[in-house]
Amino acid sequence: MRMPWLENYGKVPHSLDYPDGSMIDCVEKTAQKYPQNTAYSFMGKRSTYRELMSRVDQCARALAAMGIKRGDKVMLCLPNIPQTVACFYAINKIGAVAVMIHPLSSEGEIKFFIENSGSKLVVTLDQFFKKFDLIRGETALPDIVVANIKDALGAFKRVGYTLTEGRKNPKIQPREGVIIWDEFIKAGQSYTGEYCWHGKADETAVILYSGGTTGTMKGILLSNLNFNALALQTDAMSQCLVPGKSMLAVMPAFHGFGLGVCIHTMLVGGCECILVPRFNANSYAGLLKKLHPNYIAGVPTLFEALLKNESLGNADLSCLMGVFSGGDSLSIELKKKFDAFLKQHNAKIRIREGYGTTECVTASCLTPSHLEKEGSIGLPFPDMLYKIVGVGKTEELPYGQIGEICISGPTVMSGYLNMPEETKQTLRLHEDGRVWLHTGDLGTMDEQGFVYFKQRIKRMIVSSGYSIYPSQLENVVDAHPDIQMSCAIGIPHPYKMQAVKIFAVPRKGVEDLKKLEEELWEYCRKNIAKYAMPVEIELRSELPKTGVGKVAYTVLEKEELEKRKNVDS
C-alpha cells in the first residue's frame, strides 16, 4: 500500500491509540478532567460537563424505566437541542442503539425508519409530533416521548419562547403511548434497577440513514470505535482544538458531520458546543458576532450565505481558530472568496475542506493546517488509508488517474442494516487483505498523497449538503394514482447549489392537468422531506428514452442547462 503523504503531515501523528470503550466512556473521562468547562450552551443557557453527566444519567434511568435494554433501538427525531445530547449519550450509556433521523422527514419516511430499524421508543419535539400521530394506524408505532424547546431554556427566555415561537406548536396531551418529557425524566428518578452498560469499541452504537446506490434508504451501522476514532483523528488532524474553546454547532445531529464532529469530537476534546437548532443566515451571523466562537463547520452553502450577509460587514472574526467545509464540494472560487472574507475580518486562518461519507461517520480526509493544494480535499486522517481503483475493480491505479475512491480504517462502518447485498457491494476484501469501502465517488491522488474529488459515480443530487437520490423521489411520485412515470433531476440553484425538479407523465385519461399538478404538489409535501422537496414540477406527455427504454435523465439535464443559458443571455 503506497503512503506517499506521510512526509506531508507536519506535526500530525501518523497513527493513534483508540479506546476499547463506548462513546460515553470517552466523554465521562473528559468530564472528570474538566468538570467546570462548558459542555454546551443553548440560547444563552450554559451547562457544564458535570451538569451534562448528571442529565445523561437522569435520561439513562428514564430509558431503563421505560424498559429499554442493551441492544434496543431508540429513535431520536430532534434538532440540535440539549435533550438531543442528553438522550444520545444516555442511549449509549445503557448499551442501546441511537437511530438518528431528520426532523423534517415525511410521514412515509418516518414509517419506513420505524419499521426498518425496529425502534422501541421515539423521542421527538412537540412540533414534529403530528407526523408520528398520522401514521399511528399504519405501523406498530412505539411509545413516543415528546420534548419541548422551552424545557431547555432559562426562566426568562422560557417565558419569551412560550409567548412567541411556542404558541405555534401544538399542545400535546399525555395518553397511552405518549409521554411528556418532564414525566419521562420523573419516572426515571424512582428507578432502582441496573442501567449502566460499559460497551465495547466494536458494538453498534448508532444508525444513521442515507440513500443507497439504488436510491433505497439504508441504515448505516456505526460503532463506538467509529465515533471515538473520528473524534481523536479530527483533533489530531485539525491541530487547533483546545479544551474550553467553542464550536458553533449548526450542522444537524442526524448528520454524521453534525453528530460526529460538531458534537462528539467537541465533547471528547473538552470544548463547548453552541447548539443551533436550525440555520438562518441572519441569526447565524448574529451568533458569530455576539458569541465569538472559535470553530465553525458547515456545507458550502452556509459559507456562501455568510458572504452575502450584510450584517457581517464590520464583524471581527479574529476569534476563529478553525473553519471547516464538508458535505459537498467546495468550489475553488468559493474558497478564494471566503479566504479573502476571513482575512478581511481579521481571521488568521483559512477555510479547510474535508471529504468523507456517512459510511465513515463523516470526514476521513482534510486539508492540513500548514499545506494546501488548489482543488484538493486534502490528506487522509491518521490511520485512514485511501486508494484510487478502477471502477468496479480492486487494483490500485497510478497517480493522477481517475478512478473510484476507496477508504479503509477505524471509522469505516460495519455494514448496512438488513441489507447484506448492499453491504457486500460496498465493503470489499481486496488482495492486500484489507476491507475497503467503495465510496461510489470518482477522484485522483497525486504523488504527494493529496486527494482530489471529481464527481459521483452514482446518480445523486446534492442540495445544501444533503444527498438526495432521484430514484427515491421517483418511487414516491410514481406511486401517485394519476402518474404513469416520473424523472427527478438536479437543476442549478443560486443558494442551494442544486435543487430538485420533477418531470411527470400523467396516466392515460387524466384531462385536468392543472388540478393534477396541484394534487401532486400536495402529495409531494406529504411524502417527501422538506430538504428534498422539488422547486419545480413539470407535466409532460412523454419523457426522452435511451436505446434500452430507460428514461434519459441526462437529456433532461441538458435541456434545463440550455434553457437557463438562454435566459441568462
> What local confidence, expressed as pLDDT, does residue 212 receive?
46
CB 381 within 8 A of CB 365: yes
Judge if 393 and 516 occupy the same domain. Answer: no
Domain count, the chain: 3
| 505 beta partners | 485
Phi, psi of 324 (to 5 degrees): -125, 135
Q: What is the CATH number of the domain that holds 70?
A: 3.40.50.980
Last residue of a domain, one of 225, 245, 278: 278
Q: Give which of 2, 10, 52 is closest to 28, Cα–Cα.
A: 52
Phi/psi zone of residue 245: left (φ > 0), alpha (ψ -120 to 50 degrees), beta?
beta
Q: Which regions of 417-556 does DSSP assign to beta strands (E)?
A: 427-429, 435-445, 451-456, 461-463, 466-468, 483-493, 497-506, 534-539
Residue 86 is inside which H or E element, if any? helix 82-93
Judge if 29 and 156 occupy the same domain. Answer: yes
Per-chain mean pLDDT for the chain? 90
Q: What is the CATH number of the domain that holds 390?
A: 2.30.38.10
Judge if 221 and 185 occupy the same domain. Answer: yes
**Measured in whole angstroms, how far is the alpha carbon of residue 569 from the centre of its chain?**
37
Judge if 255 and 131 occupy the same domain. Answer: yes
Question: Domain span at residue 559?
Answer: 461-568
Instruction: Decide if pLDDT at 157 tops 80.
Output: no
Judge if 70 and 196 occupy the same domain. Answer: yes
When pLDDT is averaged across residues 79-106 and rounded to a whole number, the result is: 96
Confidence of residue 525 (pLDDT cuts 50, 70, 90): very high
Label the pairing between strands 497-506 and 534-539: parallel
> What local confidence, expressed as pLDDT, does residue 214 receive?
47
User: Coil, helix or strand for 321?
Assistant: coil
When pLDDT is averaged across residues 266-272 and rounded to a whole number, the result is: 98
Secondary structure, 3-state, 120-186: CEEEEEHHHHHHHHHCCCCCCCCEEEEECHHHHCCHHHHHHHHHCHHHHCCCCCCECCEEEHHHHHH
Residue 237 is inside which H or E element, if any? helix 224-238
Residue 42 is inside which H or E element, if any? strand 38-42
Is 244 inside any structural domain?
A: yes
Judge if 392 and 538 occupy the same domain. Answer: no
Instruction: Decide if pLDDT at 73 tops 90.
Output: yes
Percent of the chain with pLDDT over 70: 94
When pLDDT is averaged across residues 329-353 and rounded to a whole number, the result is: 91
Q: Which residue has the higher pLDDT, 258 or 497?
A: 258
Instruction: Decide if pLDDT at 213 tops 70.
Output: no
Percent of the chain with pLDDT over 90: 65
Q: HSE of 92 in the Cβ direction (CA atoms, 13 Å)?
A: 32
Specify the length of the chain in residues: 569
pLDDT of 97-122, one tens digit each?
A: 999 999 988 898 999 999 999 999 99
Instruction: Decide if pLDDT at 454 tops 90.
Output: no
